Amino acid sequence: MTIVPPIKSQGIKTKLAEWIHQTSTHQDYDRWVEPFMGTGVVAFNIQPKRALLCDSNPHLIRFYKSLQDGEITADIARKFLIEEGNKLLDTEGAHYYTVRERFNTDGNPLDFMFLSRSCFNGMMRFNKKGGFNVPFCRKPNRFAQALVTKICNQISAVSHVINQGDFEFRHQEFRDTLYEVEPSDLVYCDPPYLGRHVDYFDSWSEEEERDLHTLVTKSGSPFIMSTWLQNKYRVNDYVFSLWGDFSIQTKKHFYHVGAKESNRNAVYEALLVNFETDTSTPIKDLDLGVDALAGSVVDRETQLPLAV
């Protein structure tokens, strides 16, 4: 059964976690390391015995440390969500902005969870000052009993995984994490996707992706990275220009991020690896890179090449 975390964000890898897990089984490792843990969904489903989970977003780290330390439990979350959910309903949604302002002042992890589950489209977005700025989802009855129970079950499942292993959560940027990895670690990276929307918490640049490639290569650690290969409109040429010394495997995936159904298009996800698997192909062996790929990646529903 797939474990779904109580925190939501755009680009969450819930439906890809098993694919990543299968890829990881091609390597033996002592510790699972994520420089970009995000919601933690991949690690929580792989359930390694040891893990170092890091992120530049302090609110994510604070939330999962609170679960680890027992400061947030399913019972505590239930009481909180019922109380705050009733206020949300009584004010016809206006209480959302009270919680958002309170969170941006105090950073309470329960408020963080509340915002994650009641904001527009489950997005996680912050302004330049670090303030959560996603608007309300326009559903005052958001925290009905069924959803509260669902969230509490998610908290219980994640807490169980965290407490049965040796998990360390750390607020730091990716370079600091990669400086300390060992060849016996397996590194999984899910950085903001270069060339696409990247205002999740920090921006993401080509320079940072180059640094990521350099540090991973120097570490000597086995490495898996999630990225995008192609959408309806174009190909990610950074796969070829920056990661040409790695191997690739792909899968079609559909993200529910756009506000309109017509804007929610399929993306060909890619896993880049620096070790051999049964299903990966060296990127350098993809003939002519982007130009050839534009005519070879096919939308299986229409049997037509996706446009670049």
Per-residue pLDDT of 64-83, as tens digits, reads 999 999 999 999 999 999 99
pLDDT score, position 256: 52
Which of 130, 161, 192 delimits the end of a domain?
161
> Rounded CA gap, 304 and 251, in Å?
16
Q: Is residue 116 part of a domain?
A: yes
Q: Are residues 119 and 188 in the same domain?
A: no
Buried b (16+ CB within 10 A) or exposed e, 103-132: bbeeebbbbbbbbbbbbeebbbbbeeeeeb
> Rounded CA gap, 182 and 179, in Å?
9
Q: Is residue 41 part of a domain?
A: yes
Listed residue (75, 29, 76, 66) closest to 163, CA to CA:
66
Q: Are residues 293 and 181 in the same domain?
A: yes
Q: Is residue 50 part of a domain?
A: yes
Q: Are residues 39 and 188 in the same domain?
A: yes
Q: Is residue 18 part of a domain?
A: yes
Q: Is residue 66 part of a domain?
A: no
**Per-residue pLDDT for 298 more than 70?**
no
Helices (H) and strands (E) in the chain, counts: 11, 10
CA–CA distance from 226 to each of 17, 126, 269, 273 (Å)?
11, 22, 7, 9
Q: Are residues 192 and 120 in the same domain?
A: no
Which of 129, 161, 193 delimits the end of a domain?
161
CA–CA distance from 275 to each of 21, 99, 113, 210 (Å)?
14, 46, 37, 19
pLDDT band at 302 (very low <50, low <70, confident <90, very high): very low
pLDDT score, position 267: 79
Counting the structural domains of the chain, the total is 2
Beta strands (DSSP E) in 149-294 are: 166-171, 185-189, 223-231, 247-254, 266-273, 281-282
Q: Is residue 42 part of a domain?
A: yes
Q: Are residues 46 and 184 in the same domain?
A: yes
- Give me the CATH number covering residue 300: 3.40.50.150
What is the CA 128 to chain-centroid distance, rounded? 20
Q: Are residues 43 and 77 in the same domain?
A: no
Q: Is residue 213 part of a domain?
A: yes
- Domain hosting 279: range is 14-56+172-305
Q: Are residues 198 and 298 in the same domain?
A: yes
Please give the average per-residue pLDDT across 25-37, as a whole number.
97
Q: Are residues 135 and 177 in the same domain?
A: no
Please give the average per-residue pLDDT across 4-21, as a whole number.
92
The string of pLDDT tens digits covering residues 168-197 is 999 999 999 999 999 999 999 999 876 544
Strands of 266-273's sheet, edge to edge? 166-171, 50-55, 31-34, 185-189, 223-231, 266-273, 247-254, 281-282
pLDDT score, position 289: 45
Q: Are residues 152 and 289 in the same domain?
A: no
The string of pLDDT tens digits covering residues 225-278 is 999 898 777 888 889 999 999 999 998 866 555 555 555 567 789 999 999 998
Which of 141, 161, 181 delimits the end of a domain?
161
Q: Are residues 278 and 197 in the same domain?
A: yes
Q: Are residues 176 and 274 in the same domain?
A: yes
- Give me the CATH number covering residue 83: 1.10.1020.10
Q: Is residue 3 part of a domain?
A: no
Q: Round the average pLDDT of the chain to a whole number and report it.
A: 88
pLDDT band at 285 (very low <50, low <70, confident <90, very high): confident
Q: Are residues 294 and 231 in the same domain?
A: yes
